[in-house]
Chains A and B, each alone.
Chain A
Amino acid sequence: MPSRRKKTRTIEVNYLTRVEGESALRIRLHDDQLADLRLEIFEPPRFFEALLRGRDCREAPDLTARICGICPVAYQMTAVHAFERLFDIAIDPAIRALRRLYYCGEWIESHALHVHVLAAPDFLGCDGVIAMAEKHRDAVERGLRIRKLGNAIVAKLGGRSVHPVGACIGGFTRVPRRDELAVLREQLLRGRADAVECVRWVSRFDLPAANRDIEFVSLRHPDEYPMNEGRIVSSKGIDAPQENFDDFFEEHQVPYSNALRSKVKGRESYFLGPLARINLNFDRLGPDVASVARDTGIPWPNSNPYTSIVARALEILYAIDEALRIIDAYEPPSPSAAPFHPRAGIGRAITEAPRGLLYNAFETDERGSIRSARIVPPTAQNQARIEADLRELVPGIIQKTEAEATHACEMAIRNYDPCISCSTHFLRLETERC
Chain B
Amino acid sequence: MKPRIAVFKFASCDGCQLQFLNAEDELLKLAGLVDFAHFPQIRSRHLDGPYDIAFVEGSITTPDDARRIIRVREDSRFLVTIGACATAGGIQALRNWADVEQYRSVVYPSPEFISTLSTSTPISEHVRVDFEIWGCPVDVRELLSVVRSLLSGAKPVLPAHSVCMECKRRGNACVVVARGEPCLGPVTRTGCGALCPSLRRGCYGCFGPADDQNMESFTRLLANQGIAGDDALRRLRAINGYVRPWRETADAIAAKKN
Q: Residues of A with Cβ closer than 8 Å to B?
A: 15-18, 20-22, 42-47, 49-51, 53, 55-56, 59, 62-63, 66-70, 72, 113, 117, 121, 127-131, 133, 140-141, 144-145, 147-148, 151, 158-163, 165-166, 168, 172-174, 252-256, 258, 260, 336, 372, 419, 421, 425-426
Contacts and interface: CB of A to CB of B under 8 A. Distances in A.
B65 A253 contact: no
A160 B19 CA distance: 11
B234 A165 contact: no
A166 B40 contact: no
Contact of A66 (B36, B91, B106, B195): B91
Contacts of B201: 165-166, 168, 173-174
Contacts, number: 186
Contact of B136 (A50, A66, A161, A174): A66
A147 B239 contact: no
21 contacts: A46-B120, A47-B106, A56-B234, A62-B239, A66-B136, A68-B15, A69-B18, A69-B137, A70-B14, A113-B18, A117-B21, A128-B45, A159-B196, A162-B18, A163-B137, A163-B206, A172-B199, A173-B200, A174-B200, A421-B13, A425-B107
A336 B200 CA distance: 11
Contacts of A66: 13, 15, 90-91, 136, 239
B63 to A, nearest CB: 10
Interface residues of B, number: 65
Nearest to B113: A255
A72 to B, nearest CB: 7
B27 interface: yes
Interface in B200-221: 200-201, 204, 206
Contacts of B161: none
A260 B108 contact: yes
A245 B10 CA distance: 32
A128 B44 contact: yes
Contacts of A252: 109
Nearest to B111: A253
Nearest to A68: B13
Interface in B88-117: 90-92, 94-95, 98, 100, 102-104, 106-110, 113-114, 116
Interface in B61-92: 61-62, 64-65, 90-92
A336 B14 CA distance: 31
B222 interface: no
B43 A18 contact: yes
Contacts of A160: 137, 192, 195
Given A44-B65, A66-B13, A69-B137, A128 B102 contact: no
Given A62-B239, A130-B42, 5 more contacts: A42-B64, A46-B120, A62-B238, A69-B15, A144-B28
Nearest to B109: A253
Interface string B1-38: 00000000111111110110110110110010000100
Contacts of B31: 130, 133
Contact of B24 (A47, A131, A144, A419): A144
Q: Among B31, B40, B193, B238, which residue has the most Cβ atoms of chain A within 10 A?
A: B40
Contacts of B206: 62, 163
Which one of A21, A47, A49, A255 has the greatest number of beta carbons of chain B within 10 Å? Answer: A47
A50 B104 CA distance: 8
A43 B58 CA distance: 11
A45 B98 contact: no
Contact of A46 (B11, B22, B195): B11
A69 B108 CA distance: 23
Contact of A69 (B14, B25, B61, B234): B14
Q: Which residue, B10, B43, B192, B201, has most C-beta atoms of chain A within 10 A?
A: B43
B41 interface: yes
B216 to A, nearest CB: 25
